[in-house]
Structure 1
Amino acid sequence: MNRTYEVIFIVRPDLVDEEADQLVAGFESAANASGATVRKVDKLGRRRLAYRVRGFREGNYVLFELESAGSEPIGELQRRLRIAEPVIKYLAVRTDELEKRLEKRRRHRAARLERRPARPESAGHADDDPAAAMEGRGEGEGDGALAS
């Protein structure tokens, strides 16, 4: 069974575009060489960071979607991201586990809805219609006003 991962990393904003492209291509080839399949590379562009990271307030975001038979290729990619000087932050997440949990949650909710008894249809009671319930009130009733 193949595992799917998302790896997002932030590159220093002062890096020239050509150097950033070479860095991304190097990470992509390293992932392919270690046995992973890169499904998608998204260069999300420069964004402001929520807090200062290694002295930078902005960074260029890059997102990889990978597929791998094991965890070794991701470990190798994380090692390279950790030692690469232009990378100021990175995060790798296994997404197939998230999909499994979401699917389990959906099945649980569907089963719970099937077990729940059906609601009876309302027979037009005044309690069901808030406007009808308000019509019977006189002035000053129910609005919290004190009688003098």
Structure 2
Amino acid sequence: MRTYEMMFILKPDLSEDDIAEARERLQTIIADFGGEFLKELDGWGKKRLAYSIEDYSEGIYAVWHFNGETRTVDELDRIIKISDKFLRHMIIRLEE
């Protein structure tokens, strides 16, 4: 298993329940595909975006570390792309 860092930006107008649901969904995917959630780095929270994305000037940032296989990353990428709760995301493999 490899270690990955995932950064994602949620829409700023989501309710606390929607935010919790989105985060829980990602953690469930990591676990279901044989991965392991390691930690959340400094909760960045709501920040101003460098440029507007989908008419939003702010977003709720989060940075996570997790262990997983390529299929874990592929499924996270697929789910985030079809969800209407996320503005942007990026997943990178960390060097060992």
* Equivalent residue number for residue 50 of structure 1: 50
Q: Which residue of 1 aligns with 2:90?
A: 91
Tell me how far apart the structure 2 counterparts of residues 41 and 55 of structure 1 sit (CA, whole Å): 27
Cα distance in 2 for residues equivalent to 1:39 and 1:57? 30
Q: How does 1:1-148 map to 2 (within 5 A)?
A: 2-42=1-41, 43-68=43-68, 70-96=69-95, 99=96
Unaligned runs of 5+ in 1: 100-148
Calculate percent identity across the aligned residue pairs. 26
Counterpart Cα distance in 1 of 2:63 and 2:27: 11
In the TM superposition, residue 29 of structure 1 has moved relative to its aligned partner by 0.7
CA distance in 2 between partners of 1:10 and 1:90 (Å)? 6
Q: CA deviation at 1:44?
A: 2.0
Q: Given residue 28 of structure 1, which amino acid in structure 2 is its aligned partner?
A: Q
Higher helix share: 1
Q: Which has the higher contact order (CA 8 A, sep 6+)?
A: 2
**Over aligned residues, Cα RMSD in angstroms?**
1.2
Distance in structure 2 (CA, Å) of the matches to 1:82 and 1:30? 14
Shift of 1:41: 2.7
| Paired residue type of 2:58 | E
Partners of 1:35 and 1:62 lie apart in 2 by: 22
Aligned amino acid, residue 65 of structure 1 = H
Compute the TM-score of the two structures, normalised by the length of structure 1: 0.61
Larger Rg: 1
Query: Which amino acid is 1:81 matched to?
Result: I
Unpaired runs of at least 5, structure 2: none
TM-score of the superposition, structure 2-length normalised? 0.92
2:34, 2:44 → 1: CA distance? 25
